[in-house]
Structure 1
Amino acid sequence: MNQPHAKMELAPSMSPALMRMAAALLIGTLAPLFDTTITNVAIHTLGEALHASVSGIQWVMTSYLLALGMVIPITGWAMERFGGKRMWMAALTTFLAGSVLCSLAWNLGSLIAFRAIQGIGGGLMLPVMQTMLIRAAGSQKLGKLMAMIGLPTLLGPILGPVLGGLIVDRLDWRWIFYVNIPICLVALALAWRWLPRESPRERSGRLDFIGLLLLSPALVLIIYGLAQVGSHHGFGHSAVLVPLLGGVALLAVFIGYALRTSGTPVIDLRLFRIGSFTASSVLFFLSGLSTYGGMLLLPMYYQQVRGEGILASGLLLVPQGIGMLLTRTLAGKLTDQIGPRPVVIGGLLLTALGTLPFTQAGAASSLFALGAALVVRGAGLGAVFLPVMAASYQGLSSEQIAHSSSATRIIQQVGGAFGASVLAVILENRLTGPITPLTLAHAYDHTFLWSLGFTVVGLIPAALLPALKRSPSHIA
């Protein structure tokens, strides 16, 4: 399974059927990715429209994340039990229903509940998409396929803040959710026409209820605890510590159970015996930390330190998305040719280089220079994500692919929540005294320096990735 080939073999080009399948899935994936970035930009506007406090309106984001964390663990079993096409259309329909209900929300409580419905659909969509495409790809190039899978995650940071800014400035808040409706309808039509019907697998087995009852609450508690860090200005408050420690304890119990059970656990921990998967998982955590932390810091820097408006901040972040697009195709090709290790190391170095100017930025720093830095940072992030995802699937059987998609998605979400929380605390701790333009700029400089440090730490697991890509012909 894992024997290296003596010489590189050229994989065939992706078939038209696979291209159509990828297009149908990627269009649908745009909906939750746009929704997340748009809602983040418009969160304060939602608070004003619904007459909600800051702590109350945060639940619009938190309820989505909690629902997402609950459903991700069942993705692998559900795909085996019901088939990929059915699960994809069910997830997409759930997200569409949640979007329609959110647009009709009449108060904060109803919006929070309907966002949870969105989170159920969104939590299923990305793992289902990844699993379907990897299984369908067969022996075709993983790097090139990862470049296609990563396209929505690149478009989200480019268009999401701009769309969010336009909606906040020009339209009613309900348009935050209206924009999902046409995307979901088009994606459903394409899925019905282009996705192959997958028969449920005979050996799907029973759902691991014990594992699910341990893992889902563990993830919910961990994500909830991390989401409370910003509101309570640190990790020392009981509202943070109680759920966080409870979640970690449940996670430890799940690990012990999953390692001892004779059946197939809801997440197969045997994946971590594969070196490339373990290294990829650590990098997924750190990349989630760096990406989500950057999504928190960058718009706040432009708004608080430089005094830019919401729309202007969104436009100023576009260079990072452009940088991600620039390296997308090249990263996929290089992963196929030389393996993920050198590509990821190069991407991390670019990310660090693009973050470095923000550790010295102030209110008068050149917007042109910062924009150029964002292009470099985006190029690095784009070069990291694709080969890490490709490496996480190397050496896996067809049955393990669904478990890998769920596990990596969980790790990214926890890493993102952890990164945003930690950087928020670091920033808060630097703003304890009298706030002047100079102290505000220094606080952001210090926090960006931590973000840079997390990126550099990623070089350690990156060195453990495969240097040369092994043939993925074993993937069915």
Structure 2
Amino acid sequence: MTSTRKAPRVGAEGIDPQLRNLAIVVVLGAIMTVLDGTIVNVAIASLGRDFGTSLSTVHWVVTGYTLALSMAIPLTGWSVWRFGARTMWLVSIGVFVSGSLLCGLAWSIPTLIAFRVLQGVGGGMLLPVGQMMLAREAGPERMGRVMSIVSVPAMLAPVLGPLLGGVILDDLNWRWMFFVNVPFCALALVAALRMLPRDTERSGDARLDVVGILLLCPGLAALVYGLSEAGNGTSLTGARFLFSVSAGAVLVAAFVAHALRIRDGALIDLRPLGTRAFTTATGGLFLYSGAMFGVMILVPLFAGIVRGDSALDAGWLLAPMGLGAMMTMSVSGRLSDRYGGRRFAVGGVLCVLAGVLALTGIGPGTGRAMIMVAMFGVGLGHGLIAPCLLSMAYQGLPRTAVPAATTGANILIRVGSSFGTAVVAVILQIAIRDEIPGTSGNLPEAAERHATDTPTLLTSAFTGTFWWVAAILLISLFPILAIPRRPKETHVNAQ
């Protein structure tokens, strides 16, 4: 292995030119790949009409991307260690843009699904690889600020994805949802070739943990798929949920045992990640991600089903969340570097909780302004939480453990978001069944009922589910409060 690293030249804001260039490249490349996880959601009906196929089949356009994304994430640590971060960044963005172009040219639903899987392989590696590069370059003194940068794409995706998808569907063909990626990714490729330093930290003899791949990759895919099936409301999907989640849990547990047993060469070396800081920060991030994805699913659903808003109008209700997050995210990383991130993460959770509690009081006649104010409050808290928890997860870890920590954190976020989606779906389904007997908890079926009290009953189901989301947020405070204080020697002047 070869490793050379110049000391960073820190400027007035603590960000040297090399780190700034690296951040630009990461955001340029990652933002479109993360957006693609949500942008296609609004096009499901259009794809079904154009290809003349069922919505359950078209759903695999989304599911295929998600599963490929989940299976690719565990490979990032080894691939960076073997080939270098710059090389893997270029390869990943090349795979993603190739998949995007092919998706736009797809001539049938099977080809579109296949090309979406190709997209997911590239997209699944891009954000973790970028996060690794930033974490290595920043060091502990600037970790909060770089995590603020790397959180931008993940924060914008759920907000901008449905909006951008709605605009494209209103004015253009669905194929432009994929073609729009090409110029952005081409720009990211050019920027990477010009700005990224050549790989100096890699090991040509790093062996691939085949057993680990065979256990973890399909295990994560089974978990994510099973959780995505939760709440669909049929005995068949319920059986798929139980089988997939059980099989996934067994495979992931087997991987953990395998990784802890072998001395070195595991796909993800779990032993350095047993620190209190990593386990508590990522535990809090897992629970918080579940709650946040629950909010971002419930708000558009409520707008579309109860209020009768269009997909674009429903998407606009999430926009204030992005605005609020951008406001606090711009300072949260710097504050975390200077004072430690735990207090700001706790404050962020309480801010998000206040916004969710406001949503428990909405009704069929609630104005858009009230919902948007609540989402703005959620965004203010979100901008504090994500960067702080990500930066604290690296606290005390050696530089060599950064790839494993990045991979592990991204896996937990992916599974946490799927967990949140599943919990919300199941709770909402049960609430609808209780409020409107005879609907089996099916949301479209309940919405089609024309009784005068149907909107009120549906609203009650939604508000009850928001209370459960609030409970998950409260539970996330326990691991966050258990995060150790940052050691005194890392309390340096962040300026």
Equivalent residue number for residue 375 of structure 2: 374
Query: Higher mean Cα deviation, 297-306 or 143-152?
Result: 143-152
C-alpha displacement of 1:358: 1.2
Query: Higher mean Cα deviation, 446-455 or 135-144?
Result: 135-144
> Are residues 1:342 and 2:360 paired?
no
Equivalent residue number for residue 448 of structure 1: 466
> Are residues 1:55 and 2:73 paired?
no
> Are residues 1:466 and 2:484 paired?
yes
Query: Which residue of 448, 454, 457 corresponds with 1:439?
Result: 457
1: distance between equivalents of 2:413 and 2:287? 8
Equivalent residue number for residue 418 of structure 1: 419
Equivalent residue number for residue 81 of structure 1: 82
Query: Higher mean Cα deviation, 310-319 or 115-124?
Result: 310-319
C-alpha displacement of 1:333: 2.0
1: distance between equivalents of 2:255 and 2:153? 32
C-alpha displacement of 1:120: 0.2
Equivalent residue number for residue 224 of structure 1: 225
Equivalent residue number for residue 7 of structure 2: none
1: distance between equivalents of 2:235 and 2:490? 45
Equivalent residue number for residue 146 of structure 2: 145
Equivalent residue number for residue 261 of structure 2: 260
Q: Deviations over 1:302-334 (max 9, x none)?
A: 111111111111222111111111110221122
Q: Deviations over 1:271-307 (max 9, x none)?
A: 4420010011112211221222222111111111111
2: distance between equivalents of 1:140 and 1:335? 10
How many residue pairs were aligned?
Answer: 466
1: distance between equivalents of 2:95 and 2:35? 16
C-alpha displacement of 1:139: 5.5
C-alpha displacement of 1:348: 0.4
Give the SS at the match of 1:448: helix
Gaps of 5+ in 2: 1-10, 438-445, 447-453
C-alpha displacement of 1:469: 6.0
2: distance between equivalents of 1:132 and 1:111? 32
Q: Deviations over 1:313-364 (max 9, x none)?
A: 1222111111111110221122112211101110000010011111121111
Q: Deviations over 1:71-95 (max 9, x none)?
A: 1111111001101110000000000
Give the SS at the match of 1:141: helix
Q: Which amino acid aligns with 2:463?
A: D
2: distance between equivalents of 1:159 and 1:334? 27
2: distance between equivalents of 1:204 and 1:408? 25
Give the SS at the match of 2:183: helix
Give the SS at the match of 1:42: helix
Query: Higher mean Cα deviation, 219-228 or 125-134?
Result: 219-228
2: distance between equivalents of 1:402 and 1:446? 40
Query: Higher mean Cα deviation, 318-327 or 278-287?
Result: 278-287
1: distance between equivalents of 2:58 and 2:475? 34
Q: Deviations over 1:5-53 (max 9, x none)?
A: xxxxx99711112101110111111111221221122223222322232
Q: Deviations over 1:439-461 (max 9, x none)?
A: 11111111111111111111101
Specify which structure has the bigger relative contact order, considering alpha-carbon pairs within 8 angstroms and separated by 6 or more residues: 1
Output the TM-score relative to the length of structure 1. 0.93
Query: Higher mean Cα deviation, 431-440 or 234-243?
Result: 234-243
Equivalent residue number for residue 451 of structure 2: none
Query: Higher mean Cα deviation, 103-112 or 123-132?
Result: 103-112
C-alpha displacement of 1:402: 0.5
Q: Which amino acid aligns with 1:268?
A: D
> Could you tell me whether the CA contact under 8 Å between 2:140 and 2:395 is conserved in 1?
no
> Could you tell me whether the CA contact under 8 Å between 1:138 and 1:472 is conserved in 2?
no
